[in-house]
Amino acid sequence: MDFDIGSNRYRNSSNSIEIDGMSHLLFEFNRRYSEMTLRGFVYDQKGNMVGKISESSLAMNIQGEFEMRSEPSVVKVLRRETEEVLLEVKFLGKDHVQIHKARLYSIKGRPFEVTPKHWKIGDDAPRSGEDIDCGGNAVSLK
């Protein structure tokens, strides 16, 4: 699979994205519906799991604070109260995913942010303009 995360390109990857060393987001092609789906986890600032995404829907929403909006080519996770977009995933094809907007936390409780120009975790320097061949491994963001 190919991923565009911010202005970074990750080619020849498996179907998952690791953040801070843990599998965070997985992408699968659902043959029954002939569309891409998202699986993943939502953590809080302490690293506690507060939401689980399965087949582009919320399978678990511990405090009811999240909402999912899914269309065939776009999946969004929003904070219910403010409608702030926490994650927006665009499926550009069954092997190509784009993430240009994210405001999540890693399993270590570090902020993970994606804008069209970069991605960054915690206080680390933003990453932009990279083109990386993953050699069949997961995209590893750390």
70 or 98, higher pLDDT: 98
Residue 135 near residue 13, CB atoms below 8 Å: no
Residue 58 near residue 66, CB atoms below 8 Å: yes
CA gap 34, 28 in Å, rounded: 10
Give me the amino acid identity at 135. G
CA gap 66, 47 in Å, rounded: 16
pLDDT of residue 39: 96
Residue 71 has pLDDT above 90, yes or no: no
Residue 97 near residue 4, CB atoms below 8 Å: yes
pLDDT of residue 94: 87
pLDDT of residue 140: 97
pLDDT of residue 122: 96
Residue 33 has pLDDT above 90, yes or no: no
pLDDT of residue 97: 97
Instruction: Give the pLDDT band (50/70/90) at residue 31.
Output: confident
pLDDT of residue 30: 85
Residue 58 near residue 68, CB atoms below 8 Å: yes
31 or 41, higher pLDDT: 41
CA gap 127, 108 in Å, rounded: 19
Average of per-residue pLDDT across 97-108: 97
CA gap 114, 139 in Å, rounded: 14
CA gap 48, 36 in Å, rounded: 27
Single pTM value for the model:
0.94
Element (H, E) at 67: strand 66-70
